[in-house]
Structure 1
């Protein structure tokens, strides 16, 4: 399957624009800046998932869960990202495409009254035309549409019918939601092949059927079509200003660099767009402030959960079919179960209240298949402890007990759990949450948030809806006195809010970061474009508004840069690569280097030692696909990493364009094989050096296998290639402790399963071993 991302070994030292994060703001920025002809790199913390990669079972889903908390940080990048806090917890996605991979893809606009709030900058508040154009651009790319009920073979869904019943009982308007889902198969507007929705109900654990219009189906492939470069597993720590450029400091997941305590890597750009979401972008700016970046003291303020409330109507009178089917979609024994449908299809629209803050968007949902067994047992417990039955009578109780027994014995697709309606409400909290760094970890503080009156109103509305369905009302289990009315949000907003000036917010109307605590001066080329800049709750699903603001800002920024952008869709097949199985390992070597001695390696080593001029690198080496690597006489691999060399730079240098050759024959001496290292070294202030190193593997007098494979003779040149003057020479060595660590880093990349992974490592090991034997033991055979 084609992939949009590249190996991090291909990351270049400098770009016109670096985008950090690939949610709605980041993906739009990458697409639009690339369309404007700028050299763009997008750095994503998570992994790339394509249809077919998402978990279908609980065991698979557990491997993709990362748990963060105010006093705990997960050092992994699983797809399902939870941040638990005392007052309000957050769930979001972590992968290429951000939360679009795991949301319910509802694309609707807030009430117009939302934008009358003085919290919005006047440039938006007084000129809605520019934002309306942003909405139109976003809809053009995301292609939202309502579920085509009773058309093209799509029947009315049981959960939609139940929502209509509830709306009628509550005397509130009901309508089908615009959702980013494809209901037709074919090549889409950016050249990606999509399939029609099969009504499996598994939208929020990841669509395995190419039907959900996530960002990997539109903006991200569009960015790649226009030559943007995407890199995954990149964890950005902070940004810093250096002369007229920005320096982005980052680490790489799954490279094992942490085992060597290697320093952060860097990449430079004239413009940086931070788009890590309400939590991620705020944290990056906070870490940048600790490193000296001047940012408004309002950073972290006005965090909001968008008034999110979760609840359930359990054991209703009629079937709901609200549990996703996963791999069971085509199994005959489950055919009697009706189609689940996309996660959210229907809305009870309760927004148009006399007072804006009393309005709510009331939606139904589905539970994805990987969580089916967990929700089944949980609801059996919660219904009896915190649930409130909305209809009484002995016969009703007896019938409900029978349905619960059916779920307990036969599973979630039968009985009470199959008669469960999931509710999600978005409303207007007071938006007064606060984000901060404590003990170097992101912390959420919002005392008493769950006790705000709007949340009781929301729970009352869910009770009324449950009454109409004859079920047991089950609130979010953390919303009680014992749990201090804790909340859970899937729509975190704020933290880097836009405003008129730095005294009131962090960014201006186009996401440009204010410099300092007062006035309107901004950092040139530093932007935040995601949900973190939204200055108040929206009262409805925020993805379309985040997208509209990003579209609007990108148009203004591109004009500021003197560029233009075309929005057309010429016929095209989306670009991408078919990654082959390869092998990766990380290596550290240490030694000494002299800028004085430029001829003799041994003398340079001794002089460097006397002058206290150490030289150390930590490189992650990735082979070409394993078959090509072994068969190609050049035996190529690609490298990236860091170099610590105080004689060249006060800060660590970052490697780019690294080329590694393993056991290549020296044409001048056929009995001699070399391991070659060639790479560009890039300093934080923009200076470049070229590094060439080799290990001589030869069957000379004595048995010196360890020396030959662990001693590297290095030459450093001024400039980006070997045509420059020699800057110095030296020798690096692998110490036994580092070698042992290096062996533990060997892994296969892009393997479909464990067997394929082990096979690749076996082929690599055999290749290495056969070359050692042919060199040192040839005379015995």
Structure 2
């Protein structure tokens, strides 16, 4: 019987593990992925087969792609969670004025400030001092769009004195420069006696008189086991947290009192992408994955992205950026100009010539996740509720930024084929689904992250975030977890 079982080892879970261990509690961290070595990360930067996680296909890497009807979601699997494959960008939301934040009855701007400061120190937040050709083009694009004054270098969780500018942040840093949670929070938690148990996917939560039983399955061997704990912190990421809780409520019947808001108000950070293939001979691979950004308007944020060699598989995801009816015009472009349409897929040294722009917004749009049985078994399904603005498939700001970078670099702009041909969005920053609020009719957890109806169960990951934050959310998730732990453990 542990005092605390933490499910997930990303930003929120790692905070919970360390703070509980510092409070003298016995802690076990349950992570479905592997513990990774620098050699694993280097291999993941070189070969897609070493990077991708899909055990059913014999792929045991640490980068996962989850396909839903309306959306593709990408993230990290392994000790360190999403921090392994994040680009280390640490930015705050511009405001907390949206209704979802206000519903919890907390002045989040004031409450979170000291926790942002603490989380920033723990994650090694510094301003990126590097500047390369890709950054110059991004600045020129911002100037072309009339917002050059918003351009700047990003703040990141990277120890730049040790950074060799290899562009491998997004496949994990094998050099120890990126301050992922396995090197920071989790390392300190282990030093205090916390147990980290990889290859342990939580499948059922069973509350009982003395606490909780967590039923686990090894995703490789399928062996079933369990762990007992007095309290549980759930931090499995949006898809993992929502699926686990929904399975307990709707399939196994162990948690029937969960809020009906579970799976609702899911956000994509209003995210969209555009890509640019630069002329032959270009090499923009030197630098951190993300190094600079700008704001095309007051609620939209744009960052650049570099990729290591293993990300070459992404070339097959892209299609020409077109105006008008996306599907029709994309098919027309492919038929009329097949050479140009497939130039991206045929490009040599794609990772040296490609820029991908991530575009996020502080905007009100949403979707929902449901857990039900389909032709392929039980699982999450996405839907768009009536009466809401749906999550975006594409954004005009992303298109404009892509065209601007293409113009200043002499390249060609692309969008994603899933977006253009299938009407599916994509995000690396999914949020919501177990949002915080004042009562179970409107939220899954209270302002202290306690799950309504279930003593000793808390959620500390992106699923509690009630609104799109409009920038990379990792710092916000970490600060929220720091605040939640302070209120939990001080009481």
- The unaligned stretches of length 5 or more in structure 2 are 323-328
Question: What is the distance in 2 between the residues matched to 1:58 and 1:207?
Answer: 9
- Are 1:345 and 2:326 an aligned pair? no
Show the counterpart of 1:444.
382
In the TM superposition, 1:359-374 aligns within 5 A as 359-372=299-312, 374=313
Give yes or no for contact 1:20–1:273 (8 Å, CA) kept in 2.
yes
Question: What is the distance in 2 between the residues matched to 1:243 and 1:378?
Answer: 50
Question: What is the distance in 1 between the residues matched to 2:101 and 2:371?
Answer: 26
**Deviation sequence 1:690-740 (CA, Å, 0-9, x none):** xxxxxxxxxxxxxxxxxxxxxxxxxxxxxxxxxxxxxxxxxxxxxxxxxxx
Question: What is the distance in 1 between the residues matched to 2:332 and 2:236?
Answer: 40
In the TM superposition, 1:297-696 aligns within 5 A as 297-315=260-278, 321-323=283-285, 340-350=286-296, 353=298, 359-372=299-312, 374-375=313-314, 382=320, 386=330, 411-412=348-349, 418-428=352-362, 430-439=364-373, 440-446=378-384, 452=392, 455-480=395-420, 482-483=421-422, 485-515=423-453, 523-560=454-491
How many residues are matched? 468
Give yes or no for contact 1:57–1:369 (8 Å, CA) kept in 2.
no
TM-score, normalised with respect to structure 1: 0.56
In the TM superposition, 1:185-200 aligns within 5 A as 196-200=162-166
TM-score, normalised with respect to structure 2: 0.87
- Which of these residues, 88, 104, 111, is aligned with residue 94 of structure 2? 111
**Deviation sequence 1:292-326 (CA, Å, 0-9, x none):** 3110011000111111111112235x975334xxx
Show the counterpart of 1:30.
17
Question: What is the distance in 2 between the residues matched to 1:64 and 1:445?
Answer: 30
Show the counterpart of 1:271.
231
Question: What is the distance in 2 between the residues matched to 1:302 and 1:109?
Answer: 21
Show the counterpart of 1:159.
134
- Judged with a 3 Å threshold, the aligned counterparts in structure 2 of structure 1 residues 64 and 143 are, in CA distance, closer, same or farther, namely closer
- Which of these residues, 60, 66, 82, is aligned with residue 99 of structure 1? 82
Higher relative contact order (CA 8 A, sep 6+): 2
Look up the SS of the partner of 1:214 in the other structure. coil
- Are 1:241 and 2:207 an aligned pair? yes
- Are 1:147 and 2:110 an aligned pair? no
Look up the SS of the partner of 2:419 in the other structure. coil
Root mean square deviation, CA, Å: 3.0
- Judged with a 3 Å threshold, the aligned counterparts in structure 2 of structure 1 residues 199 and 76 are, in CA distance, closer, same or farther, namely closer
Deviates more, 1:103-112 or 1:122-131: 122-131
Shift of 1:165: 0.9
**Deviation sequence 1:227-269 (CA, Å, 0-9, x none):** 1111100011121211131121112244453xxxxxx432221
Shift of 1:211: 1.5
- Judged with a 3 Å threshold, the aligned counterparts in structure 2 of structure 1 residues 435 and 77 are, in CA distance, closer, same or farther, namely farther
Give yes or no for contact 1:275–1:529 (8 Å, CA) kept in 2.
yes
Question: What is the distance in 1 between the residues matched to 2:154 and 2:241?
Answer: 29
Question: What is the distance in 2 between the residues matched to 1:121 and 1:442?
Answer: 28
- Judged with a 3 Å threshold, the aligned counterparts in structure 2 of structure 1 residues 16 and 77 are, in CA distance, closer, same or farther, namely farther
Shift of 1:58: 8.0
**Deviation sequence 1:12-46 (CA, Å, 0-9, x none):** xx111110000100000001110111111111111
Give yes or no for contact 2:104–2:437 (8 Å, CA) kept in 1.
no
Show the counterpart of 2:245.
285
**Deviation sequence 1:588-611 (CA, Å, 0-9, x none):** xxxxxxxxxxxxxxxxxxxxxxxx
Look up the SS of the partner of 1:557 in the other structure. helix
Question: What is the distance in 2 between the residues matched to 1:201 and 1:433?
Answer: 33
Question: What is the distance in 2 between the residues matched to 1:148 and 1:285?
Answer: 43
Look up the SS of the partner of 1:475 in the other structure. strand
Question: What is the distance in 1 between the residues matched to 2:368 and 2:433?
Answer: 7
In the TM superposition, 1:35-74 aligns within 5 A as 35-56=22-43, 60-67=47-54
Give yes or no for contact 1:388–1:472 (8 Å, CA) kept in 2.
no
- Which of these residues, 169, 182, 187, is aligned with residue 203 of structure 1? 169
Shift of 1:511: 1.0
Look up the SS of the partner of 1:56 in the other structure. helix
Question: What is the distance in 2 between the residues matched to 1:514 and 1:57?
Answer: 40
Show the counterpart of 1:187.
none
Shift of 1:208: 1.6
Q: Please tell me whether Structure 1 or Structure 2 has the larger radius of gyration of its CA atoms.
A: 1
Show the counterpart of 1:599.
none
Question: What is the distance in 1 between the residues matched to 2:214 and 2:69?
Answer: 32
- Judged with a 3 Å threshold, the aligned counterparts in structure 2 of structure 1 residues 102 and 525 are, in CA distance, closer, same or farther, namely same
Give yes or no for contact 2:306–2:356 (8 Å, CA) kept in 1.
yes
Question: What is the distance in 2 between the residues matched to 1:500 and 1:160?
Answer: 44
In the TM superposition, 1:160-175 aligns within 5 A as 160-172=135-147, 173-175=150-152
Shift of 1:176: 0.5
Show the counterpart of 2:111.
130
Question: What is the distance in 1 between the residues matched to 2:106 and 2:93?
Answer: 14
Shift of 1:463: 2.4
**Deviation sequence 1:475-526 (CA, Å, 0-9, x none):** 122222x41x2111100111111111100010011210012xxxxxxx2211
- Judged with a 3 Å threshold, the aligned counterparts in structure 2 of structure 1 residues 451 and 135 are, in CA distance, closer, same or farther, namely closer
Question: What is the distance in 1 between the residues matched to 2:357 and 2:282?
Answer: 12
Question: What is the distance in 2 between the residues matched to 1:422 and 1:542?
Answer: 19
- Are 1:232 and 2:198 an aligned pair? yes
Shift of 1:343: 0.2
- The unaligned stretches of length 5 or more in structure 1 are 1-13, 150-155, 185-195, 258-263, 324-339, 354-358, 390-396, 516-522, 561-781
Question: What is the distance in 1 between the residues matched to 2:448 and 2:65?
Answer: 29
**Deviation sequence 1:517-538 (CA, Å, 0-9, x none):** xxxxxx2211000000001111
